[in-house]
Structure 1
Amino acid sequence: MTAFVTGDPDASAIALPPRPNPRIFMRICLTTFRRAICAFLLLAVPAQAADAPMLETAMAKVFTVHSADSEDRFLGSAFLWGDGTVAISNAHVVGAAQEVRLTDAAGQQQIGRVIAADPSRDVAVIAVTSGGQGGLIPAATPPQLGAEVWALGAPMDVEFSVTAGRVSGLDRQVEPASPIRMIQHDAALNPGSSGGPLVDATGALVGMNSQIADGSRMFIGIAYAIPARDLARIVQGLIAETLPPLPQLGLTARPVSRQLAEALGIAATGLLVDAITPASLAETAGLCPGDVILALNGAAIAKPGDLAFALEAAQQQGQLDLTVLRGGAVVILMADIATVDSPLTLRDISNPQRRKEYTLQDLGLTLNGARITAVRANSPALSAGLTATETILQIDGQAPQSQATESFAQPVLLLVQGATGTRHVLIDPWATGKSLHPVGGANVLDRDVVVF
C-alpha cells in the first residue's frame, strides 16, 4: 500500500508497513505474556519448594519454653544443640528457674533441667531428651552482609513460627558490658522469639535470637542474634565448667565525647569514671570518680564496649593493669582478679515463706451468701477478673455451701454467673505472672479463653 502526504506540493511517497490483523496481534501478546509468567514460576517455585524441607527440619529441633509449674507461663523459645542432649536458650528466658517445660513441633513435652546460665552473655543450657536426633549444625562460615536468614521460634506465644529477613549488620555490640558482637538482621522478632535459632538458606545455625532494638518491645526492623561461633565457645565452656563469670569491676563510666574532652582539656578517648562501688574490684585497684580509663592490660579503651572484651581477656591472666589519666598525669593501677572455683551455674533460689492456706475473703472477695458484693483493690480476685456483679455457682466443681468459708491450700476454680453469662475463673494467690484486670465486666485479657 502506498500513501501520499497532502498539503505539500513537494511531498514524496512514503511506504507504510501492512496493518497487522488485530486478532493475530492479540494472540501473539497473550502467548508472550503466558511464556513470561511460566518462566517466572519455573524460577520461583523451586526456590520456595527448596526452603520448605529445610525449615521443617530446623523447626523439628525448636522448643517453646514454659514454666514447669501449674501456672504454665510462656517464657520464650529454645532449640537442640550439639548431640541433642542439651537445648540452649537465653538466660533471660529461663530466669531463675531450675526446670522448664519444653514442647516440640510434634507436641511432645518434657521437663528440662537448667544446668547452667550465664546472665552476662545471656546464654542458658538445658538438659533434655532429644529422642536420638542431634541439634542444629552451626554454619561453616559466618554470614555475609545481605545474606538471607530465617528466624524460628514463638513470637508473642505464636508457636513454631518462621520469619524471613536479611543480615543488615555485623559485629554489633549491643550491650557495652557484654563481650559479644551480635548479628543484626531484619527477620521479624517479638517477645517470645528470644532463645530461638536464626538459620541460613541451608538450614545451618547462624545464631540465637536474643534482642530487638531498644525503644520498643515490638519489632521495628532491627533484631540481634548471638553468633553461632560465640555460642559454641560459651556453651562448651558452661558444659565443661571452664567458663568463669565475667568479673564485676564495680564502677559506672561514660565515654569521653568531644564535648567532655573539650571541657576537661583532654583527648576524646577513654572512659570517664562516674562512681565507684565500695569494696569492689575497682576500689581495690584504686580507681576514683573523675579518672579516665585509657587502657586495660595494654588494650586501648576507645569506647565503652572495649572494656568488656579487655576484661574478659585479662581474666585469663588473673591481673588487671589499668592505665588511667588522673589530674593530667598518666597513672598505672593494678589489682588481682580473684579466681573462680566454680563455673557459671544457676543462681541459688531462696524460697520465702508463703501463706499455706487462704479463704475466699483472703483473696479479696466480700460475699453475701454466694453473691459477690465487693472485690478488694490489688487483690488476687481482682487480678483474676472477678467483679461485684457476679454470683458464684460452683467452687472446685461443687455447689458453694461450706466452701465459702473454707480454707484452701491450692488454687481455687470458681464458676460464676454474670451479666454476660457463666464463665470459669481460676484464682491462684501464689501466681507470679502478670496480673490481668477486668475490662467491660469480663476478663477479656485472659488468653486461656477461646471464643468459638
Structure 2
Amino acid sequence: MQAKAEKRQRPLVIEALAALLVLVLAAIVSPASAAPLDAAMDKVFTVRSSDAEDRFLGSAFVWTDGTVAVTNAHVVGQAEEVRLIDRHGTETTALVIARDPVRDVAVISLPTATAGLQLASDAPQLGDEVFALGAPLGIEFTLTEGRISTLARQTDIAVPMLMLQHDAAVNPGSSGGPLVDAEGRLLGMNSQIADGSRMFVGIAYAIPTAELDRIVNGLIEETLPPFPTLGLTARPVDRQIAEALGTDAQGLLIDAVAPGGLAETSGLKPGDIITQASGTTFTQPGDFAFAIESASADGEATLTLHRAGQELTLTLALTAPEPTGLRTRDIARAPATVASYTLTALGVTLDPAGTVTALTDNSPALLAGLAKGDRILAINGAPQDLAAYQLTAPALLLLEAPGGATRHIRLDPWHAPEGVRPVGGANVLDPDVVVF
C-alpha cells in the first residue's frame, strides 16, 4: 500500500517541480528581456500643445544627456512651447529651443535634467530586431516590434539624409518617438511612413542616430548651417525625358526658378540640366542635395550644367547677400484680430428654433463638431438670442441632436482646429517635381 502511494505521489512531485521551474525561468528571463524596453518607455513623452486647444501633436524622448528632449520639427510646427507628458502622468511645459524643418528635427529644453536614452554602440544591421516607442494614433506609450529592412534609404531627393527603413508599425502620432534595440538603446527617431496611405503599410522611416547626433548637437551648439533654400524646382532626367531631349538619363532638369532666389541670381534658368555640383557627378537624383549640403560650408557650389546643347559652369551662391545701402526691410504688419463673430459670420445658418440648417465647408463651427440638424440650446450655460449673439471669446455650446441626445462643444473661431494633415516627403525618389 505504501509503495502504491509513493508511486501516486511521484507524478505530483514531478509536476510541482516542473511548474516551479517554469516560474523560476519566467522570473529570470522575462524581466531581464522586458526591463530595458520598459526603462526606455520611461524616457518617452507624448507631446501636446500648450494652448487652450490641448491638441495631441506626436511623440518625443529624452536625449542622451538628459537636458533636452528630441522630436520631429513637423510635430511642434511653429510652437514656441509644448507640453510633455510621460507615462506616469507627469506633465512639463517646455520650450522649443531649436528646429530644422528641412532635416525635420526639433530640440526641446527640459526644465529638470533626467536620464536619457543612450545611443547604440553597434551599427544596426539588416534584419536586426527593432522596437518603435511612441503614441501611434494618439494611443499613448505603445511599443511595436519589427525588423530593419534597409539601412540607408533617401526618402526625399531634396533632403540630404539617408534613413533607416523598418517594418515596426508606426502611424500618425508615432513621429518623434524613438526606435530602439532590444536593450533599449537608441537606433533612430521615427519620422515618416511611406506615402500613398496615411496609415502604416509595412514601411516606416527613422532618422538614424549618427545623423540625429550630428543634427541635435549642431542645433544646440548653433553650428549646424541651415540647408539653403535655392528657389528652384527640378525633376530627375528619366529615360523618357532623356529621349525627348537627346541627352543621357542623368541629372536634374530645372522646371522653374523663383524670382530673386539664389538659383536665379546665380544664373540658372528653366530648361538647364544640372549634372554635377562641386565635382560630384550625380548617379542618383538625390546626390544633388548631399552635394549642396557639403558645399554649404564654403558658401557656394560650382555647378556643371547643359543648356541648349552646351556645357556650362556656374557658381551657385548658397547664402543670401546682405542688404546694402540705406534700404530698410519692410516690417510686415500683423493681421488685425477680429474682435467678435456672429454665428452667421461663422458660416452657420439657423432656423427660428435655433436648428442648424446649413454649414459652410470651412466653418470653424463645423470643425468644432457642430452638425446640420443640431439645435443650439444654450451658449455658456444660458439661452441666447442666436440671431444677435456676438462671440467675443471662445464659447461653450449646448447642442441637441435630431434624436434628442445632448452634448457640448467648445467653439473658438480664433483658433479653429485643423483638419487631418498628412506628413509628406516619404516617397522614395519620386520622379515628380521636387522643390529645392
User: TM-score with structure 2 length normalisation?
Assistant: 0.81
Give the match for residue 314 of structure 1: 295
Match of 2:319 in 1: 338
Match of 1:13 in 2: none
Q: Do structure 1's residue 305 and structure 2's residue 286 form an aligned pair?
A: yes
Indicate the SS of the match to 1:321: strand
- Secondary structure of the structure 2 residue equivalent to 1:230: helix
Give the alignment partner of residue 432 of structure 1, picking from 416, 419, 422. Answer: 416
Aligned residue in 1 for 2:365: 381
Q: Deviations over 1:371-416 (max 9, x none)?
A: 436444343334434356554444323x325788453332211223
AA aligned to 1:210 is S
Is the Cα–Cα contact under 8 Å of residues 96 and 349 in structure 1 kept in the other structure?
Answer: no
Q: Distance in 1 between matches of 2:168 and 2:419?
A: 31
TM-fit CA distance, 1:337: 2.9
1:59 to 30, 36, 41: 41
The residue number in structure 1 matching 2:427 is none
Partner residue of 1:356 out of 327, 339, 343: 339
Q: Partner residue of 2:406? A: 422
2:378–2:384 Cα contact (<8 Å) kept:
no
Shift of 1:421: 2.4
Separation in 2, partners of 1:287, 1:391: 60
**Distance in 2 between residues matched to 1:389 and 1:231, nearest whole Å:** 51
Give the counterpart letter for 1:232 in structure 2.
D
Deviation at 1:62, TM superposition (A): 0.8
Contact map agreement 2:157 2:289 (CA 8 A) in 1: yes
Residue 191 (structure 2) aligned to one of 201, 204, 210 = 210
CA distance in 1: counterparts of 2:358 and 2:240, whole angstroms: 56
Q: How far, CA to CA, are the matches of 1:351 and 1:362 in structure 2? A: 22
User: Structure 1 288/420 Cα, relative in aligned 2: closer, same or farther at 3 Å?
Assistant: same
Q: Call closer, same or farther: CA 1:133–1:349 in 2, change over 3 Å.
A: farther
Q: Residue 50 of structure 2 contacts residue 83 of structure 2 at CA under 8 Å; is this kept in 1?
A: yes
Q: Shift in Å at residue 334 of structure 1? A: 1.7
> Measured at CA, do residues 176 and 38 of structure 1 come closer, stay the same or move farther in structure 2, by a change above 3 Å?
farther
Pairwise mapping of residues 272-287 of structure 1 onto structure 2 (< 5 A)?
272-287=253-268
8 A Cα contact 1:384 1:435, kept in partner: no
Q: Cα 1:44–1:249, aligned 2, differ >3 Å: closer, same or farther? A: farther
Inter-CA distance 283–388: structure 2 relative to 1 (3 Å threshold): closer
Q: Secondary structure in 1 aligned to 2:234?
A: strand
Change (3 A) 1:298 1:423: same
Over 3 Å counting, the alpha-carbon distance change for 1:322 and 1:391 in structure 2 is closer
> Tell me, what secondary structure is at the counterpart of 1:237?
helix
Structure 2 residue matching 1:304: 3-state secondary structure: coil
Higher deviation after alignment, 186-195 or 85-94: 85-94
CA deviations 1:228-267 (Å, max 9, x no partner) are 1111111111111111211122222222333433443333
The answer for the alignment partner of 1:123 in structure 2 is 105
Asked if the contact 2:300–2:316 (Cα under 8 Å) also holds between the matched residues in 1, the reply is: yes
- Give 1:100's aligned amino acid: V
Give the distance between the partners of 1:309 and 1:62, measured in 2 at CA: 31
Q: Percent identity among equivalent residues?
A: 53
Deviations 1:61-92 (A, max 9, x none): 11111111111111111111132221111111
8 A Cα contact 2:177 2:189, kept in partner: yes
Please say if residues 167 and 186 of structure 1, whose CA atoms lie closer than 8 Å, have aligned partners that are also in contact.
yes
In structure 2, what is the equivalent of residue 99 of structure 1?
81
What is the rounded CA distance, in whole Å, between the counterparts of 2:162 and 2:120 in structure 1? Answer: 17
Q: CA deviation at 1:106?
A: 0.9
Which residue in the other structure is 1:450 paired with? none
Aligned residue among 58, 68, 81 for 2:50: 68
Q: 1:331–1:160: structure 2 CA closer, same or farther, 3 Å change rule?
A: same
Q: With structure 1 as the length reference, what TM-score do the two structures score?
A: 0.79
Instruction: Report the more deviating stretch, 152-161 or 349-358.
Output: 349-358
Judged with a 3 Å threshold, the aligned counterparts in structure 2 of structure 1 residues 39 and 426 are, in CA distance, closer, same or farther, namely: same
Q: Which has the larger radius of gyration?
A: 1
Aligned residue for 1:430, secondary structure, equals helix
Match in the other structure for 1:80? 62
Kindly state the Cα deviation for residue 271 of structure 1 after the two structures are TM-superposed. 2.0
How far apart are the structure 2 equivalents of 1:158 and 1:428?
Answer: 26
Correspondence list, 1:41-190, <5 A: 48-130=30-112, 132-190=113-171
Out of 248, 264, 271, the residue aligned to residue 229 of structure 2 is 248
Query: Counterparts of 1:313 and 1:401 in 2: how far apart (Å)?
Result: 64
The reply to whether residue 396 of structure 1 matches residue 370 of structure 2 is no
Query: Larger RCO: Structure 1 or Structure 2 (Cα < 8 Å, ≥ 6 residues apart)?
Result: 2
Instruction: Give the unaligned 5+ runs of structure 2.
Output: 1-13, 323-330, 421-436
Q: Sort the Cα spacing of 1:55 and 1:340 in 2 relative to 1 into closer, same or farther, 3 A.
A: farther
